[in-house]
Structure 1
Amino acid sequence: MGGNRVFGPRPVLLGHRGCGRGTVGGYVENSLESFLAAVDLGIDWVEVDVRRTRDDHLVVAHNPTDDDGVFYADVTGTEATDKGALRLDTLLAALPPGVGVDFDVKTSMEDATRSRARSTMGQLAQVAKREAGKREVLISSFDPGALDIARELAPGVPRGLLTWLDFPIGQAVAAAGHLDVQVLAPHWGSLRPNEIEHRPLEYVVETVHNSGREFLAWCPSVAFAQQLLDAGADALCVNNVPKVLAALHAEPARI
């Protein structure tokens, strides 16, 4: 593979929404406490869900709505934080510079009616450029259009194509190979044997590498995480950070 690597010479682990989806070790996902706990445990990177509010503030939230069903795109940043949402700038100020950040940018429907610069990705681009001067950074999204905005507005920041649950892995690999991205990030369900398409993990990862991209799998089980590392995956975005770290550190030569 040519050029600069995103994840470095060894496989890295990313804490999904901090310490993991839901509540892990008493820490609620996408809370400042969850991210800092993951850092204390020794995680390499954190995966951060990013959404835009009505007045163009960026908050850390996975779903388009809060617990009351109110869309973040319909409220102000102050209203969102008053209801418990974490401001992205608050998180970044608290994270040590040695911790990498994968910005998982969540496009909203309303982005379709906004200019590229005022879309969710457009708002995030400036933040990502600033953070790239302090730490390792990746911008990822399920939305290829948003990744094109990132390419335009934050050209020096690596980009990753996320693919959805059980998305056909052949299509994912081919798509990433012909998009201007540096990382393919499929859900681990796409990599399990199925009746339609089954390639060995080693073949999939090798093909991604041969296309000049790096390979990040998200949310694998603990057992499958080790298989992915053995197959040459560059990074894993994991749930239940304490459990995964404990299991993988039992085999230190492999991580």
Structure 2
Amino acid sequence: MIFTPTEVIGHRGSGRGTVDGLAENTPGSFAAAVAAGATWVEVDVRRSADDVLMVYHNAALPDGRFVVDLPAEESRAAGVATLDEVLEVVPPHIGLDIDVKTVLEDAVDAPGRRTMALLTPYLKRQARSRRLFVCSFDPSVILAVREEAPGVATAWMPFVRNPLDQAVAGAAGMGCEVVAIDARSFGLAGEPERPGRRSVEDTVELAHRAGLQVVSWCPDPVDSARFAAAGMDAVVVDDVPGTVRALAAVAAG
């Protein structure tokens, strides 16, 4: 098993956007998430024009330039970190949730230049010394990890508000170890019940029977506590300290 439930994964470090003056997906943000009690961090990875892996969520910088069209140094000048720079600040006892952001050019570029080909050596090295899994919206990433880095765990990450049935069945069908589901797919606290949607408890129990662990992105501390009480294995969150406190309260009683 990958997780000891319920674990906290810092989303893009200590949270999306800017949290306490630290921009997402930067070394400082990852270090802050670890200091706040996250046992994992979620790292967005995409490639540059010169085949360097950059840690950035969006396809383009705020000025509209695509990361894949820029040499790494130009993106670095705009504040984007490389994967190497991020790994330097994440201690080996902290798990890595690597969210692979494939690009349009991966459909046509030489196989050795594609995002997964560049990432595979990192996966093999990191898997020797820390807990690690790869997640993506792109099912081809899951298949590539199976072929190129066997033994590295995978998580299928369906899209926003994707039906729970498809999420769990799809992850199981692809042979994933984990299914990563948008918190809104479960229904957030205070939302009315939606006909035809399983409860969190039923979904988690069935996923566990299928051999899957369950991660949700991005619940707030209230929903994180609710999900933990239902047996969920991990949560990817924007409020690391608040979620750590909420889960401690669940564990205490």
Runs (4+) off by over 6 Å: none
Change (3 A) 1:116 1:210: farther
Match of 2:166 among 162, 171, 188: 171
Alignment map for 1:121-136 (pairs within 5 Å): 121-136=116-131
Which residue of the partner structure matches residue 27 of structure 1? 22
Q: What are the Cα deviations for residues 35-82 of structure 1, in whole angstroms up to 9, with x where unaligned?
A: 101111121000000011111100110000111111111011121112
Distance 1:42 1:222, change over 3 A: closer
**Aligned counterparts of 1:161 and 1:194: Cα–Cα separation in 2:** 25
Per-residue Cα deviation, 1:75-127 (whole angstroms, up to 9, x for no partner): 11121112210110111122111110000000111111134443212211210
Structure 1 CA distance, aligned partners of 2:178 and 2:21?
A: 32
Aligned partner of 2:164: which letter? I
Report what 2:77 is aligned to.
Answer: 82
Aligned mates of 2:27, 2:83 — CA distance in 1 = 10
Letter in 1 for 2:87: L
Secondary structure in structure 1 of the residue aligned to 2:88: helix
Give the gaps of 5 or more residues in structure 2.
none
- Whole-angstrom CA distance in 2 between matches of 1:102 and 1:59: 15
Query: How many matched pairs?
Result: 249
Is residue 2:2 matched to residue 1:6? yes
Calculate the TM-score normalised by the size of structure 1. 0.93
Assess if the C-alpha contact under 8 Å between 1:217 and 1:237 holds in 2.
yes
Q: Distance in 2 between matches of 1:90 and 1:63?
A: 18
**One of 87, 92, 113 as aligned partner of 2:108:** 113
RMSD between aligned residues:
1.5
CA contact (8 A) 1:116 1:149 kept: no
Please list every run of 5 or more consecutive structure 1 residues that lacks an aligned counterpart in the other structure. none
More deviation, 121-130/42-51: 121-130
Q: Percent identity between the aligned chains?
A: 41
2-side partners of 1:210 and 1:116: how far apart? Answer: 37
Distance 2:105 2:67 in 1: 11
User: What is the aligned partner in structure 1 of residue 239 from structure 2?
Assistant: 240
Query: Residues 21 and 240 of structure 1 are in contact (CA less than 8 Å); yes or no, is this contact kept in structure 2?
Result: no
Alignment of 1:129-148 (within 5 A): 129-148=124-143
Distance 1:116 1:73, change over 3 A: same
Question: With structure 2 as the length reference, what TM-score do the two structures score?
Answer: 0.94
